[in-house]
Structures are given as C-alpha cells and as structure tokens.
Structure 1
Amino acid sequence: MSVVVSFKVRREVKELMDKYRDRVNWAEELRRFVEEKIRQLRAEENLAEILEELRKAGWSVPKGFSVKSVREDRDSR
C-alpha cells in the first residue's frame, strides 16, 4: 500500500520543476532518491552493528599488520 508524502520547496524550484515536467518524472526521481538514501543508511547501520560485534568479541588486527600488508603489496608489483 502506498502513502502520500509531501514536502516544501522554494517557489523558484517548483517553477523549474514545472518547466521540466515533460522531461522528468519528478515523483519517480524523488522515490528513487529516497529509496537509495534509505539503502545507504541501512548499510551504514549494518556495518556499525557488525563492527560493534567484532569489537565486543575482542577481534583486532595484530600490531604492524597494516604496514606489513602494504609493503608486501608494493613489493609484489
């Protein structure tokens, strides 16, 4: 089931939206934007949860691991 969401824009923006309404489906563009933003926010939350669980589990990278890995990568080229 769908619901209606409305928001305010400056008058100039609305006039420009009206001007380009034959070239842009504003409702679809806004829907796509909101859905993508929600996907990004959920991904950030999921990552934060995973990192928190790893932190609680005592997971860590051994000291010097990053430096060693970068050097190995550089030397392999």
Structure 2
Amino acid sequence: MPTKSIAVPDAVYERVQQIAAAEGTTVDQLATKAIERDLARRWLDRIGGEGDRRRGDMSDAEVEAVVEQAVQESRTRS
C-alpha cells in the first residue's frame, strides 16, 4: 500500500508513540485505526441525522407501525 504522510504536533506524536508501545503495535497501525474509527463515527452521525430527519415527530410506536407496514407490503410483492 502506498504510504501517505500527515503532520501532527510533537505532543500528539509522542502520546501516540507511548500508546502504541504499550499496546505492542506501531504508530502507523494505531493512527490508521484511529482515523478509521473517526471516519466510521462520522458516517454513523450522518446516517443517524438522516434517520432523525426522516422520522420527524413520529413516536416509537408510529415508527414501528410504518416499518411493519413496509415489511408486509414487501412480503405481499414477493
């Protein structure tokens, strides 16, 4: 895999080195995992926000009813 470089403050790099050493991993592996987790969190935040917008003011019971109706319609078409 081609490598890319990123710049971080010295204090951050030193902390990452300490954590990587304590966990028996490399700085690169730890940084990659941290970036992947942040990207996943951002994706979940975006998807959650979209779900909240779609839900609007519906109660849990109303959401369940809509889901049940969609499932029934899907089964009828199959």
Instruction: Give the TM-score, by structure 2 length.
Output: 0.55
Aligned-pair identity (%): 11
Q: Give ranges in structure 1 of 5+ residues lacking alignment.
A: 18-23
Aligned amino acid, residue 37 of structure 1: R
RMSD: 3.2
Q: Which has the larger radius of gyration?
A: 1
1:68 aligned onto 2:77 = no
Deviation of 1:66 (Å): 0.7
Deviation of 1:70 (Å): 3.4
1:30 aligned onto 2:30 = yes
Q: Which structure features the higher share of helix residues?
A: 2
Q: Give ranges in structure 2 of 5+ residues lacking alignment.
A: 1-6
Number of equivalences: 61
Deviations, residues 42-63 of structure 1 (Å, cap 9, x unaligned)? 11111111111112276x6475
1:2 to 1, 8, 12: 8
Instruction: Give the TM-score, by structure 1 length.
Output: 0.55
Runs of 4+ in structure 1 over 3 Å off: 60-63, 70-73
